[in-house]
Amino acid sequence: MFKVRKAVIPVAGFGTRFLPATKSTPKEMLPIVDKPIIQFIVEEAVNSGIETIIFITGRHKRAIEDYFDYTPELEFTLKKGGKEEYVEKIREISNLADFVYVRQKEQLGLGHAILCAESVIGNEPFAVLLGDELIINDEKPALKQLIDVFDKFSKSVIGTMSVDREDVYKYGIVDGMEVEENIKLVKYLVEKPSPQEAPSTDAIAGRYILTHKVFDMLKKTPLGKGGELQLTDALQRLREIEAIYSTELEGKRYDTGNKYGYLEAILEIAMDREDTAEFVKNLIKKISTEYSIK
């Protein structure tokens, strides 16, 4: 039986919702306090047992490659300045996993980005993590929750989270039939439906385990919503030839792809960190008084 060892992380998007910051910096490199968003995603994958990370990257994304590489000049300077503890911290980042970079030459959608990984994945099952969704669960990472379901059925598994009906148009929506506690057999998937069309409010939360058969489906799928090759459309086809399961993910989810979700993530994650909790608490008190927030 195959083990899930590889994860694909698409990072070629422009990050237009964060302009001008993303004019020359990848949105994935924006920090939550002092750690870039992309490191949270990579750590989730590694803590779930992933050994190889395949970034689907594009122009203007070189900073991500540099981030996961060694930085001998910086290490030399830090050592000279007696800051050994930082040297170890930055080395650990490069040693988290094996990193592979594949360029997506054109922005043709998430489905196209995944298809770019075909030759690196071969015929193994693999994970997909989308960088806009930060899912924090210190006990069991979101991806590990999916891998546990995969290990039972050896079929594709989609991580979902329930959303308000008025928000379904932002997500891929999955309808299924419960076959075990918190495991559904997927019956139907639709990308960004209107609230009236949506068959359920189970939204795809940017975490997937996919079998390699998805590549053949992607090749057959016509362009969908937004004129892009949609992964959700290819999964609807895959469902016709083999079972797909979904499971509701447990964890705190932040949509760091927009400024409100990003701010929420910074404040709450800083509240959970020993070195920043007290500061943030006092800051919130101060702001509440100054702005008369009750």
The site for ligand G1P (CB under 6 A) is made up of 110, 130, 132-133, 171-172, 191, 203-204, 206, 231-232
Residue 96 corresponds to which amino acid?
L
Nearest CB to ligand G1P, comparing residues 14 and 86: 14
Least CB distance to ligand G1P at residue 206 (A): 4
Nearest CB to ligand G1P, comparing residues 231 and 269: 231
Q: How many CA atoms lie within 13 A of 184 on its CB side?
A: 19
Least CB distance to ligand G1P at residue 203 (A): 5
d(CA 115, CA 293): 49
Nearest CB to ligand G1P, comparing residues 36 and 159: 159
Nearest CB to ligand G1P, comparing residues 72 and 222: 222
The DSSP call for residue 199 is: S
Burial 86-122 (b: 16+ CB within 10 A, else e): ebeeeeebeebbebebbebeeebbbbbbbbbbeebbe
Strands 126-129 and 202-210: antiparallel
Nearest CB to ligand G1P, comparing residues 36 and 206: 206
Least CB distance to ligand G1P at residue 132 (A): 5
Nearest CB to ligand G1P, comparing residues 9 and 204: 204
Handedness of CA 223, 226, 232, 236 (dihedral sign): negative
Residue showing the smallest CB distance to ligand G1P in the complex: 172
Least CB distance to ligand G1P at residue 52 (A): 22
Least CB distance to ligand G1P at residue 204 (A): 4
d(CA 155, CA 144): 15
Q: Is residue 227 classed exposed, middle or buried when 0-12, 13-18 and 19+ CB atoms within 10 A define those classes?
A: exposed
Least CB distance to ligand G1P at residue 149 (A): 18
Nearest CB to ligand G1P, comparing residues 5 and 60: 60
Least CB distance to ligand G1P at residue 156 (A): 14
Strands 252-255 and 133-136: antiparallel
User: Within 10 Å of residue 175's Cβ, how many Cβ atoms?
Assistant: 16
